[in-house]
Amino acid sequence: MFLGVLFSGGKDSVFACKRAMETDSVVCLITIVSENPDSYMFHTPNVRRTDLIAEAMGLPILTWPTRGEEEIELDDLRDAIAAAKERYEIEGVVTGAIESVYQAARVQRICRDLDLWCFNPLWQIDQVEYLRHLVSEGFEVIITGVFAYPLDESWVGARINFGLIKKLESLQKKYRINPSGEGGELETFVLDGPIFRKRIEILKAQKTYDNYRGRLSIEVARLVEK
Amino acid sequence: MILIVDLCHKPRSLSKREFVDPIAAIVRRAGSEYEVAHFTELTEDAIERSDRIILCGTALKDNLFAEEICQFAWIEDLDKPLLGICAGMQVVAAVFGGEIVPQPKIGLEKIEIVRETDLLGPPREIEGYHLHNFGVTLPPGFDLVAGRPGQIEAFKHSERPVYGIIFHPEVRNRWIVEQLVSL
């Protein structure tokens, strides 16, 4: 089946893309670029860098703008998916949704209206187990945003490895942090992985942090041969 | 051993990760052994050695299982607990003489449990995640357990532990699968 992946450049959409590639043909990535940093639907930090990931993965990308207003942004998402259906003849859409009924139900309705299949290969996955798979399958993921207590500045820009997963596990027990950031606690960016033909090297990034809210904005990055 | 039956459009599909694996994870965490089989690859041996069976749901656009109801004739004489989830409930209804009817619903909605059963407990209101284009009519010999005629949320065979629920218990109602394991 020809599939398009709703793509933010974060670990969930990249890993969902890998899962889709294992069974079907991913023919395009679909990225919604929101002007609203607090979008209800769309991952925002560094989303403009998804073109670089698409190039690293050797896939075409359809980038669609939205003002990011609640519910209105769904019309933009529908238009983007409809455009992907027409341009790349996709038969279905893949998302990286794990727990969010809000996001999943809305994408399901759009797919139903457009007569497309909808796939959520990470749906209800155990978050710690998932993070371990991500690392053991060779993905290089950095944290580009933290938005919850007690995540301090050291988390911004950190790489997800087995040690960091252990820390997230203990924060889950103590502070009810979702280890994969499903509650909006973390945002991530993927630099390399088994579905990447080239890896991404960050040359310049700006770190900001204040009161348990921090971001790593990638300013200059390039593709490097593997 | 729990037999988990995959109703997706083909064996080892992308949908399996969404509709079958989460059910298997609940069963595993509940401490029970399980086996997963696609409905086209199901053997008499697997049915025989199981002590409980779960028929999983599938994607909204996937109706292949409904064209293959004859492959589920074994359910009719089953004497062990069985739970049909969404597509699985539609299979149970069709096997026992009910109908699969258009009834699209997506998202979280209130569910009124109207009859006490071992699986869902006493009458009360719960909230469940719906993802279906089709619902069912009540087959002969079944009792309405949740919802109302025309919007059946759950049913049970009046004499045997054969259940169907149209909503997805892997979202916010994992206790239902855990309860089946301990029936």
Q: Do B59 and A116 count as a contact with CB atoms less than 8 A apart? A: no
Q: pLDDT of B40-97, one tens digit each?
A: 999 999 999 999 999 999 999 999 999 999 999 999 999 999 999 999 999 999 999 9
Q: How confident is the model at residue A43 (pLDDT cuts 50, 70, 90)?
A: low
pLDDT over 80 at A45, yes or no: no
pLDDT over 60 at A40, yes or no: no
Is A124's Cβ below 8 Å from some Cβ in B? yes
Residue A34 sits in the same domain as residue A110:
yes
Per-residue model confidence (pLDDT) at position A38: 63
pLDDT over 80 at A36, yes or no: no
- Helix (H) / strand (E) containing A132: helix A127-136
What does the alpha-carbon distance between residue A31 and residue A41 come to, in Å, rounded to a whole number?
12
Strands B151-157 and B162-165: antiparallel
Q: Is residue A34 part of a domain?
A: yes
Q: Do A20 and B131 count as a contact with CB atoms less than 8 A apart? A: no
Q: pLDDT of B7-50, one tens digit each?
A: 999 999 999 999 999 999 999 999 999 999 999 999 999 999 99
Residue A94 sits in the same domain as residue A189:
no
Per-residue model confidence (pLDDT) at position A69: 73
Q: Residues, chain B, total?
A: 183
Q: Is residue A201 part of a domain?
A: yes
What does the alpha-carbon distance between residue A225 and residue A198 come to, in Å, rounded to a whole number?
5
- Helix (H) / strand (E) containing A15: helix A11-23
A167 Cβ partners below 8 Å, 6+ apart?
Answer: none
What does the alpha-carbon distance between residue A181 and residue A11 come to, in Å, rounded to a whole number?
10
Residue A24 sits in the same domain as residue A104:
yes
Among A residues 22-81, those touching chain B with beta carbons less than 8 Å apart? 22-24
Q: Is residue A203 part of a domain?
A: yes
In whole numbers, what is the pLDDT of chain A averaged over residues?
Answer: 92
Number of domains in chain B: 1
Q: Is residue A185 part of a domain?
A: yes
Which CATH number is A164's domain given?
3.90.1490.10
Domain that residue A61 falls in: 2-119
Weakest mean pLDDT among A22-26, A176-180, A203-207, B117-121: A176-180
Q: How confident is the model at residue A183 (pLDDT cuts 50, 70, 90)?
A: confident
A contact test, residue of B13, B106, B108 with most A CBs within 10 A: B106
Residue A115 sits in the same domain as residue A144:
no
Which CATH number is A87's domain given?
3.40.50.620
Domain that residue B106 falls in: 2-182
Among B residues 1-60, those touching chain A with beta carbons less than 8 Å apart? 12-15, 17-18, 21-22, 25, 59-60
Residues A15 and A94 sit within 8 Å (Cβ to Cβ): no
Question: Is the predicted ipTM greater than 0.85, yes or no?
Answer: yes
How many C-beta neighbours within 10 Å does residue A102 have?
A: 12
Residue A114 sits in the same domain as residue A161:
no
Residue A7 sits in the same domain as residue A111:
yes
B9 assigned to active site: no
For A30, the 3-state DSSP assignment is: strand
Q: Do B22 and A108 count as a contact with CB atoms less than 8 A apart? A: no
Q: Do A23 and B14 count as a contact with CB atoms less than 8 A apart? A: yes
Q: Is residue A133 part of a domain?
A: no
Residue A92 sits in the same domain as residue A163:
no
Q: Is residue A134 part of a domain?
A: no
Which CATH number is B56's domain given?
3.40.50.880
B contact test, residue of A124, A125, A130 with most B CBs within 10 A: A124
Q: pLDDT of A70-103, one tens digit each?
A: 777 889 999 999 999 999 999 999 999 999 999 8
What does the alpha-carbon distance between residue B18 and residue B20 come to, in Å, rounded to a whole number?
6
Number of domains in chain A: 2
Residue of higher predicted confidence among A20 and A219: A20
Among B residues 88-127, those touching chain A with beta carbons less than 8 Å apart? 104, 106-108
Helix B21-29 to helix B174-182 angle, to the nearest 10 degrees? 60
Residue A16 sits in the same domain as residue A91:
yes
Per-residue model confidence (pLDDT) at position B91: 98
Q: Is residue A131 part of a domain?
A: no
B48 Cβ partners below 8 Å, 6+ apart?
Answer: none
Per-residue model confidence (pLDDT) at position A49: 87
Residue A81 sits in the same domain as residue A156:
no
Please report, rounded to a whole number, the percentage of residues in chain A having pLDDT higher than 70. Answer: 96
B170 assigned to active site: yes
Averaged pLDDT for residues B105-114: 97
Per-residue model confidence (pLDDT) at position A66: 85
